[in-house]
């Protein structure tokens, strides 16, 4: 397995460009299953997760071509069964359920396995499908949904931890070809949901209200092919902004949608980092006296759970006591034990991390456990004295396109050691 070695303490400067959004690309690629006609999607990042999604589409019978960031999918004749072997590597595989149900009126998809960031149920997805008139059965590790016809309905998708992103995506994709009008109450408002709705509307769907808590979908008889550019990855952008805060001499993150990262730039500004926001670029400058912060993760437009680990890395080196509460995935703290091995002082109290900022972190061998926790370890390694060796780098490759190369372009001393 590849490792990443970071020689810490080398300041970053210059600019980098953000890749297309992983969490937009995945449901948008799944949505290409909704039409027999070809679709072309630009800006799809080269990640193992997007690769897995294309493997699923190919398994289902789609013709797929990929040339750098552009993916063409032609799903003329497709099946409706995605077995464990093809879906097990990625939880987001679940978002083929909606389009398969919409188009084929049936789907069998193996249930995604456990996940280190916590229990990840799909009860709200299934409740939504039932609301459209589908029968749902979970047996033999598979979820099977089928309906002679789907009928629009009012569906509330708000759960104990707030709205569901992929649940909202799944529901939109099933409802676009249903008879009548579907109203999703308690919908997720994330920019990736809006991007998917825009893609579906370009295919001929009639969706209004994406980006608000209520989405209204008027079913249509068929969708057609289209072409689309996915939005920039706001979590990659945020990760680089934190890199600039933790170890920068002034860096600029380009190809960014400032509104999408507002909660992140607000948090960084509250810590005392000068943040300069232009049209599609944000610069961050160092501050030798950064302050502690109280931070809670919340559904968009709140501070994203996907940036919590990276902020913990930053706050471990800012003066004072920071308090971080994770409201989306209360157990998403796998990075804490590893950061402590690098000298961070943090205590977990339920879903809250209490962080006492330290002056220095120390390089150490650490283990990546999930995508965002791994990014946090890399960020801590940029700041730490000595060498940090991050193993299980495949977690990073799931969601960051060329992270090591981009950091290197900014001046980080970082190298990937290929597995023998
Ligand atoms: N939930 C339920 N029932 C459901 C679905 C979700 O109780 O049926 C709960 C979850 O357990 C969680 C909360 O609702 O407590 C929100 O989960 P959500 O469904 O929104 O998560 P998701 O759609 O499975 C997406 C992103 C995640 C991101 C979350 C939250 C993709 C492919 N994944 O997951 O991204 O953390 O939304 O914003 O879009 C990542 O990129 O590293 C990542 C994990």
- The confidence band for 113, taking pLDDT boundaries of 50, 70 and 90, is low
Ligand 1 atom index nearest CA of 115: 44
Alpha carbon of 359 to those of 181, 309, 353, 356, 388: distances in Å? 57, 19, 18, 10, 17
Burial of 319 (0-12, 13-18, 19+ CB in 10 A): middle
Partners of 323 in the beta sheet? 294, 354
pLDDT on residue 293: 97
Ligand 1 atom index nearest CA of 399: 41
pLDDT on residue 199: 98
Determine whether the shortest distance from the Cβ of 164 to ligand 1 is under 6 A: yes
In tens, the pLDDT along 299-347 reads 999 999 999 999 999 999 999 999 999 999 999 999 999 999 999 999 9
- The confidence band for 419, taking pLDDT boundaries of 50, 70 and 90, is confident
Model confidence at 367: pLDDT above 60: yes
Q: For residue 336, report the distance from its CA to the centre of ligand 1, in Å.
A: 21
Model confidence at 401: pLDDT above 90: yes
In tens, the pLDDT along 145-183 reads 999 999 999 999 999 999 999 999 999 999 999 999 999
Q: Which of 112, 159, 164, when mutated, tests ligand 1's pocket best, judged by the most ligand atoms within 8 Å of its CB?
A: 164
> Which among 115, 247, 271, 312 is annotated as catalytic?
115
Q: Which domains does the chain have, with CATH numbers?
A: 2-18+232-418 (3.65.10.10), 22-229 (3.65.10.10)
Partners of 144 in the beta sheet? 108, 137
pLDDT on residue 287: 84
pLDDT on residue 114: 57
pTM above threshold 0.75: yes
Region 341-359: mean pLDDT is: 97
- The sign one gets for the Cα dihedral 255, 210, 145, 117 is positive
- The sign one gets for the Cα dihedral 159, 160, 162, 166 is negative
Rounded Cα–Cα distance for residues 122 and 96 (Å): 13
Question: Closest Cα partner for 41 from 76, 70, 75?
Answer: 70
Q: Active-site residue 115, yes or no?
A: yes
- The confidence band for 141, taking pLDDT boundaries of 50, 70 and 90, is confident
pLDDT on residue 115: 63
Ligand 1 atom index nearest CA of 330: 15
Q: Considering only 225-239, 253-267, 386-400, which range has the smallest mean pLDDT?
A: 386-400
Model confidence at 417: pLDDT above 80: yes
pLDDT on residue 87: 87
In tens, the pLDDT along 180-216 reads 999 999 999 999 999 999 999 999 999 999 999 999 9
Kindly report the average pLDDT of the chain as a whole number.
95
Model confidence at 376: pLDDT above 90: yes
pLDDT on residue 85: 84
Rounded Cα–Cα distance for residues 78 and 75 (Å): 6
**Do the Cβ atoms of 38 and 225 come closer than 8 Å?**
yes
Q: For residue 164, report the distance from its CA to the centre of ligand 1, in Å.
A: 6
Q: For residue 165, report the distance from its CA to the centre of ligand 1, in Å.
A: 6
């Amino acid at each position: 397995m590849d490792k990443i070695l970071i020689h810490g303490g080398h300041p970053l400067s210059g600019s980098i460009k953000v890749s297309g959004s992983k969490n937009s690309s995945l449901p948008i690629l799944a949505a290409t299953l909704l039409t027999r006609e070809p679709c072309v999607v630009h800006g799809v990042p080269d990640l193992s997760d997007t690769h897995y999604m294309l493997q699923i589409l190919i398994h289902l019978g789609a013709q797929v071509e990929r040339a750098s960031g552009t993916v063409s999918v032609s799903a003329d004749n497709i099946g409706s069964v995605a077995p464990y072997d093809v879906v097990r590597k990625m939880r987001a595989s679940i978002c083929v359920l909606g389009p398969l149900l919409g188009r084929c009126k049936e789907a069998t998809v193996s249930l995604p396995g456990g996940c280190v960031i916590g229990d990840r149920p799909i009860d709200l997805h299934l409740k939504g499908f039932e609301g459209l008139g589908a029968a749902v059965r979970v047996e033999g590790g598979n979820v099977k949904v089928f309906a002679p016809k789907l009928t629009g309905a009012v569906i509330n998708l708000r759960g104990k931890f707030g709205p569901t992103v992929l649940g909202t995506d799944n529901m939109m994709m099933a409802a676009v070809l249903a008879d009548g009008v579907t109203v999703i109450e308690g919908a997720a408002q994330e920019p990736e949901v809006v991007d998917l709705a825009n893609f579906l509307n370009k295919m001929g769907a009639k969706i209004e209200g994406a980006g608000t808590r209520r989405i209204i979908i008027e079913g249509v008889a068929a969708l057609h092919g289209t072409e689309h550019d996915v939005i920039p990855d706001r979590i990659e952008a945020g990760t680089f902004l934190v890199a600039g805060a933790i170890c920068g001499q002034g860096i600029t993150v380009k190809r960014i949608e400032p509104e999408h990262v507002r909660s992140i730039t607000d948090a960084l500004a509250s810590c005392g980092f000068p943040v300069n926001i232009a049209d599609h670029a944000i610069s961050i400058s160092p501050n030798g006296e950064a302050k502690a912060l109280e931070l809670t993760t919340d559904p968009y437009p709140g501070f994203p759970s996907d940036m919590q680990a990276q902020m913990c890395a930053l706050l471990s080196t800012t003066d004072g006591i920071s308090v971080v509460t994770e409201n989306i995935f209360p157990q998403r703290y796998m990075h804490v034990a590893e950061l402590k091995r690098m000298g961070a002082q943090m205590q977990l109290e339920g879903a809250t991390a209490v962080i006492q900022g330290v002056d220095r972190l120390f390089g150490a061998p650490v283990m990546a456990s999930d995508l965002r926790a791994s990014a946090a370890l890399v960020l801590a390694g940029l700041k730490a004295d000595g060498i940090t060796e991050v193993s299980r780098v495949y977690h990073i490759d799931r969601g960051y396109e060329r992270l090591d190369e981009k950091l290197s372009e900014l001046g980080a001393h970082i190298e990937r050691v290929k597995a023998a």
